[in-house]
Structure 1
């Protein structure tokens, strides 16, 4: 697709990648990761297990989760929440005082990867669709290289001179579209083959293929609209939950559900389901799981935790948290479960 002069279309990820690629381990400090990025002059690194398999990616934007200013604001939010006379749980204060100093606490996952045999066109499409700066290259599941926007820009739009300025998504997409247009023009200039004669009432494979393509485009548009509407609805729900509280009526309903569950021989009941986006880290701490996951809660989820800590924990109830689903590979909904058995 990006074969402007008849060569780049044959290239594979292994032909344009930078190799080897430096990475960091999940238990290295965020500071060490930042120092490595500065030393190498890169804006992101893969997070690798001891065998070199990708666990995630840490980039400049991820360091906002370890930013001290945000840390201070979270603490102030909790203090304001508890100003109404409630006792602050000691483990909350402890968690808020600890900095997110491990790479696993700030990395994004999964990391976008392709096999080394993937075409340059597929790499470019994936990079454009996800609006990312880099795609890691795998060989037998091990990270062996990285392809950046600048690598592809040099391949199909050398006039952009990516070394002179940052390769923004807009610059990358514009160059990619120009490359596709030039290829289309070259193909159009070739003499078309003679048209075959079609019997009366007949149809060509190309016409049927076009019909299938139109169906797939319509189907993709419906899916796109559904995803967009779901995201908008989810965003509105998060806004509502940020200011909502877990009231006495809901607590009474939870106790009734707990009794019914116990009669059925069950040892726990879901107390609250909410979008993982309600957590200040998007649900990462719950998904790891991190023992400090309560400090990531906000709004109604945080209010329920405090009520459990003050009212239900003294009665012997435990509380667990988990990510219930992973749409598109990312945390979707989180659940807080009230537990009274093993």
Structure 2
């Protein structure tokens, strides 16, 4: 014969299960935040790649876009706070906006100036996300 636990015991069991769920959610959130911080730390610094390595990656991206009939492609996306002014100069298309770049976004721009601009490629940085009406991520686009 099976006994029926008291209502108090049932509520305690539910509370325990809910606590375990909340703990799992908190751990997953903390892991995601740590991964995000690591990613931001990584892109806030230059990649350390040579021009030849970057050119190989760029050629792959561009050739794939061309094979699909495209004349432009987004090559990178990053949070606006990697700009020294949180993307304001990019958003306003102010002269000298490129001086606000840091880390890999700056490296991409400098690579474009050295290697791709002389070959006739164009680059554009623009705000691509406006969650809640605020400046968000910046997209980097190459066109030809």
TM-score, L = length of structure 2 = 0.66
* Match of residue 99 from structure 2: 295
Which runs of 5 or more structure 1 residues have no equivalent in the other structure? Answer: 1-198
CA shift for structure 1 position 246? 6.1
Using the TM superposition, give the Cα deviation of residue 297 of structure 1 relative to its aligned residue in structure 2, in angstroms.
Answer: 0.7
Report the Cα distance in structure 2 between the residues aligned to 1:277 and 1:312, rounded to whole angstroms.
26
Q: 2:61 aligns with which of 245, 257, 260?
A: 257
Partner Cα separation in structure 2 for residue 290 and residue 225 of structure 1: 35
Structure-2 change in CA distance of 1:284 and 1:234 (3 Å): farther
CA distance in 1, matches of 2:49, 2:83: 15
1:320 is paired with a residue of what secondary structure? Answer: strand
In the alignment, is the contact (CA less than 8 A) between 2:43 and 2:104 conserved in 1?
no
CA contact (8 A) 2:81 2:87 kept: yes
Q: In 1, Cα distance between the equivalents of 2:37 and 2:99?
A: 26
Distance 1:263 1:224, change over 3 A: closer
Which of 207, 211, 214 aligns to 2:12? It is 207
If each structure's helix is expressed as a fraction of its own residues, which one has the higher value? 2
Are 2:125 and 1:321 aligned? yes
**Cα offset, 1:311, TM superposition:** 4.1
| Partners of 2:80 and 2:86 within 8 A in 1 | yes
The 5 Å alignment of 1:151-300 reads 200-204=3-7, 206-239=11-44, 241-242=45-46, 244=48, 247-286=51-90, 289-292=91-94, 293-300=97-104
> Relative to 1, partners in 2 of residues 1:315 and 1:238: Cα closer, same or farther, differing over 3 Å?
closer
**Contact in 1 for aligned 2:98/2:106 (Cα 8 Å):** yes
Q: Structure 1 pair 253/237, CA: closer, same or farther in 2 (3 Å)?
A: closer
Per-residue CA distance 1:151-186 (angstroms, 9 max, x = gap)? xxxxxxxxxxxxxxxxxxxxxxxxxxxxxxxxxxxx
Partner of 2:54, secondary structure, is helix
The alpha-carbon distance between structure 1 residues 331 and 247, as it changes in their structure 2 partners (threshold 3 A), is same
Q: Which of 112, 118, 126 is 1:308 aligned to?
A: 112
Highest Rg: 1 or 2? 1
Q: CA deviation at 1:265?
A: 0.6
Alignment of 1:72-221 (within 5 A): 200-204=3-7, 206-221=11-26
- How many residues are matched? 137
